[in-house]
């Protein structure tokens, strides 16, 4: 096929495919945060409706001091990763690291991201030493069964299925490290490491704390 001037049609460059972020979050942390917020809302509403004197105002001032940190440490943390970068949402800060800036990830007593010559803790993937010990015991039993000729102790695990012989935090780190190894050397993995503070959490918490201290001081 040719253009109107007789030159070959170069065609339209196909757009680079984009993939949805792979998201990792702590479900128990989210559940505990929602429950804490529900209890706090009930107590604060009761104080506002039934309290006397400055009690309703103190309850309102205490609301952001309690609610925003709970949101920050339980509901907000998440890890989002795609072929371009890993984005870590910690309670008070967000780390946006293209794969080329990531030196590695590791899971010890906590999960850590090593990027741009610095170390960042990943709050969204808590390490459970008890879960890790249970997984290690299952792995040892499976290995012993295989050595003694007992065969497979369960159904064959498909790719992408959770591995019962590995703790959840270790599986997440393995998955993210695999994405890093696959994409760090590619053009789409290049970029600059960026960190930003979560001011929508910090500002109302500080404002509420100032209001709370002022109300208590003048009582």
Q: Tell me, yes or no, whether 186 lies in a domain.
A: no
Tens-place pLDDT, residues 66-122 = 999 999 999 999 999 999 999 999 999 999 999 999 999 998 889 999 999 999 999
More reliable by pLDDT, 5 or 22: 22
Q: CB of 67 within 8 A of CB of 40?
A: yes
More reliable by pLDDT, 142 or 185: 185
Q: Tell me, yes or no, whether 207 lies in a domain.
A: yes
In this prediction, residues 173-191 reach a mean pLDDT of 93
Q: Tell me, yes or no, whether 41 lies in a domain.
A: yes
Residue 154 pLDDT: 47
Residue 98 pLDDT: 96
Q: Tell me, yes or no, whether 171 lies in a domain.
A: no
Residue 7 pLDDT: 47
Q: Tell me, yes or no, whether 111 lies in a domain.
A: no
Tens-place pLDDT, residues 142-173 = 667 767 765 554 445 444 456 766 788 889 99
In this prediction, residues 172-190 reach a mean pLDDT of 93
Comparing 21-25, 61-65, 156-160, the range with the smallest average pLDDT is 156-160
Arithmetic mean of pLDDT over the chain: 85
Domain holding 61, by residue range, is: 20-76+198-219
Residue 149 pLDDT: 63
Instruction: List the one residue out of 152, 184, 175, 2 whose CA is nearest residue 85.
Output: 184
Q: Tell me, yes or no, whether 89 lies in a domain.
A: no
Q: Tell me, yes or no, whether 32 lies in a domain.
A: yes
More reliable by pLDDT, 152 or 39: 39
Q: Give me the number of domains the chain comprises.
A: 1
Q: Tell me, yes or no, whether 208 lies in a domain.
A: yes
Q: Which of the four pLDDT bands, split at 50, 70 and 90, describes residue 177?
A: very high
């Amino acid at each position: 096929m040719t253009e109107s001037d007789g030159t070959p049609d170069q065609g339209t460059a196909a757009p680079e495919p984009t993939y949805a972020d792979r998201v990792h979050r702590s479900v128990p942390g989210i559940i505990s945060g929602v429950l804490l917020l529900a209890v706090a809302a009930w107590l604060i509403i009761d104080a506002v409706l039934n309290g006397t004197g400055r009690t309703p105002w103190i309850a309102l001032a205490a609301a952001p001091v309690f609610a925003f940190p709970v949101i920050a440490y339980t509901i907000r943390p998440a890890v989002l990763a795609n072929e371009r970068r890993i984005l870590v949402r910690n309670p008070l800060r967000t780390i946006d690291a293209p794969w080329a800036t990531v030196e590695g990830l590791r899971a010890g007593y906590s999960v850590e991201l090593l990027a741009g010559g610095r170390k960042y803790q990943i709050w969204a993937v808590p390490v459970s030493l008890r879960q890790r010990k249970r997984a290690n015991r299952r792995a040892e039993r499976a290995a012993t069964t295989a050595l003694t000729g007992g065969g497979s102790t369960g159904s064959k695990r498909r790719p992408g299925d959770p591995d019962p012989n590995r703790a959840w935090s270790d599986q997440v780190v393995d998955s993210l490290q695999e994405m890093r190894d696959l994409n760090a050397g590619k053009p789409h993995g290049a970029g600059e490491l960026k960190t930003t503070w979560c001011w929508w959490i910090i500002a109302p918490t500080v404002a509420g704390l100032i209001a709370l201290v002022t109300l208590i001081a003048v009582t």
